[in-house]
C-alpha cells in the first residue's frame, strides 16, 4: 500500500494511501477537484488524465496503444508525463510517487 503524493486541479496537495491491485483511478476519484473517470475505467473517456512526474513516469509499466491514442487526443498531452489513471495499477514500487491531476477538458 504505497503512499502517493497528489496535487489536484486547484493546486491542493493530498497524501494518498493507495491499495495494491487497484488502479490509480479508485483513490484519485475520492479526492476533491480531481479526475471524473466518466467511463468508469474503460479507457474510453480520458477524464482520468494525470501527469506522473518524469522521474516516476519511467518506472511505471508503459501504456497500451489505445491509452496512448486517447491521451494524444487531449489538449494537454505531455508525452513524458501523461497517463490515464484507470490504466495504471498500484504497486509498492510507487512508494513516494508524485502526480498532478490534468486540467479538465
Ligand atoms: S476513466 Fe475513462 S479513460 Fe480512464
Extents of the domains making up the chain:
3-101
C-alpha cell at 10: 486547484
Residue 25 Cα to ligand 1 midpoint, Å, equals: 8
pLDDT of 33-85, one tens digit each? 999 999 999 999 999 999 999 999 999 999 999 999 999 999 999 999 999 99
Stretch 17-41: mean pLDDT, rounded?
Answer: 96
Atom of ligand 1 nearest to the CA of 39: 2
The response to whether residue 48 sits with its C-beta less than 6 Å from ligand 1 reads: yes
Out of 3.10.20.30, 3.30.70.20, 3.40.1110.10, 3.40.640.10, select the CATH number for domain 3-101.
3.10.20.30
The pLDDT, as a whole number, for residue 105 is 86
Residue 36 Cα to ligand 1 midpoint, Å, equals: 8
Residue 51 Cα to ligand 1 midpoint, Å, equals: 14
pTM (two decimals): 0.96
Three-state DSSP string of the chain:
CCEEEEECCCCCEEEEECCCCCECHHHHCCCCCCCCCCCCCCCCCCCCEEEECHHHHCCCCCCCHHHHHHHHCCCCCCCCCEEEHHHCECCHHHCCCEEEECCCC
Res. 16: pLDDT tops 90: yes
Amino acid at each position: 500500500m504505497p503512499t502517493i503524493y497528489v496535487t489536484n486541479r486547484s493546486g491542493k496537495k493530498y497524501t494518498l494511501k493507495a491499495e495494491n491491485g487497484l488502479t490509480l483511478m479508485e483513490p484519485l476519484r475520492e479526492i476533491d477537484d480531481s479526475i471524473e473517470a466518466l467511463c468508469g475505467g474503460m479507457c474510453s473517456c480520458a477524464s482520468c488524465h494525470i501527469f506522473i512526474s518524469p522521474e516516476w513516469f519511467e518506472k511505471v509499466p508503459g501504456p497500451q496503444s489505445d491509452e496512448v491514442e486517447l491521451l494524444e487526443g487531449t489538449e494537454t498531452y505531455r508525452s513524458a508525463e501523461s497517463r490515464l489513471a484507470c490504466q495504471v495499477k498500484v504497486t509498492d514500487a510507487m512508494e513516494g510517487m508524485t502526480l498532478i491531476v490534468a486540467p479538465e477538458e
